[in-house]
């Protein structure tokens, strides 16, 4: 993991009080970036025992010698998204990096939609999944992108999913929303290309996080190769770090699909 190269950069990682988002935030901070921590509420971090609170994660970031703060916002509400982006800019002075990590195959009132196909899923769950994944990404990119366009600099990393690149029979709405993020990434990159703003996407493979372990049964991986096993958060974070750093300055509009 590259632990240098982002000194003085200002980053916002959505959904970063837990799971993969927390890993991305920690690694950005270790590389020298100031990082705003976000989640839907301060208590969300404790849902799967991944942290005491969002504010506690921000303090953990500050212990690495960089600036941090926690901001709560419901990303399904564009007014709150705009407030989040403006709050991050006010806190840090500017925004150089946006990682749109928040999302998940989450029902309106259940951990996952049930039923979770294309036909029997409830309309309310369709709306919940699309809002939490595709629309929230579009809102954050809109408000952060306007700031980066004006500054003529910035890196946006959208987080899709391997599910958006293979046919599925469960989680169809989630997979479709994630597939939409890849196309949106390519199109937004074209709009922002002349302003020197990079927009790329990572589609992570199944990865061990608190939510992952709590919502599915993981079988034995004995005999599987490194590229077949369920990923560790560090595996996905190394790719995000590449997309946030100078090594990807000539790359925009691409989706890195992490096949497993």
Q: What is the 3-state secondary structure (H, E, C) of the chain?
A: CCCCCCCCCEEEECCCCCHHHHHHHHHHHHCCCEEEEEECCHHHHHCCCCCCCHHHHHHHHHCCCCCEEEEECCCCCHHHHHHHHHHHHHHHCCCCEEEECCCCCCCCCCCCCCCCCCCCCCHHHHHHHHHHHHHHHHHHHHHHHHHHHHHCCEEEEEECCHHHHCCCCCCHHHHHHHHHHHHHHHHHHHHHHHHCEEEEEEECCCECCHHHHHHCCCCCCCCCCCCCCCECHHHHHHHHHHHHCHHHCCCCCCEEECCC
Using a 10 angstrom Cβ sphere, with 0-12 exposed, 13-18 middle and 19 or more buried, the burial of residue 214 is exposed
Residue 253 phi, psi (nearest 5): 90, 10
174 classed as catalytic: yes
Catalytic residue among 174, 184, 195, 208: 174
**Structure tokens given for 234:** 């560090």
The set of catalytic residues is 174
């Amino acid at each position: 993991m590259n632990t240098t190269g982002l000194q003085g950069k200002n980053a916002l990682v959505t959904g970063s009080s837990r799971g993969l988002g927390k890993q991305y935030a920690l690694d950005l901070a270790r590389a020298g970036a100031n990082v705003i921590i976000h989640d839907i509420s301060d208590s969300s971090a404790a849902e799967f025992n991944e942290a005491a609170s969002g504010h506690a994660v921000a303090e953990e970031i500050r212990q690495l010698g960089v600036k941090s703060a926690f901001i709560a916002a419901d990303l399904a509400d564009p007014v709150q998204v705009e407030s989040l982006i403006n709050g991050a800019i006010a806190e840090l002075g500017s925004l150089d990096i946006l990682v749109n990590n928040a999302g998940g195959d989450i029902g309106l009132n259940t951990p996952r939609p049930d039923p979770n196909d294309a036909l029997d899923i409830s309309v309310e769950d369709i709306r919940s999944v699309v809002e939490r994944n595709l629309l929230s990404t579009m809102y954050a990119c809109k408000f952060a992108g306007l700031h980066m366009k004006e500054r003529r600099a910035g890196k946006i990393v959208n987080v899709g999913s391997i599910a958006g690149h293979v046919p599925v029979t469960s989680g169809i709405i989630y997979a479709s929303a994630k597939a939409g993020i890849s196309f949106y990434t390519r199109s937004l990159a074209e709009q922002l290309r002349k302003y020197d703003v990079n927009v790329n996407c990572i589609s992570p493979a199944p990865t061990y996080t608190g939510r992952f372990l709590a919502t599915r049964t993981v079988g034995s991986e004995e005999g599987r190769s490194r590229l077949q096993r369920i990923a560790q958060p560090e595996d996905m974070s190394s790719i995000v770090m590449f997309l946030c750093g100078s090594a990807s300055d000539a790359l925009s509009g691409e989706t890195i699909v992490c096949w497993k």
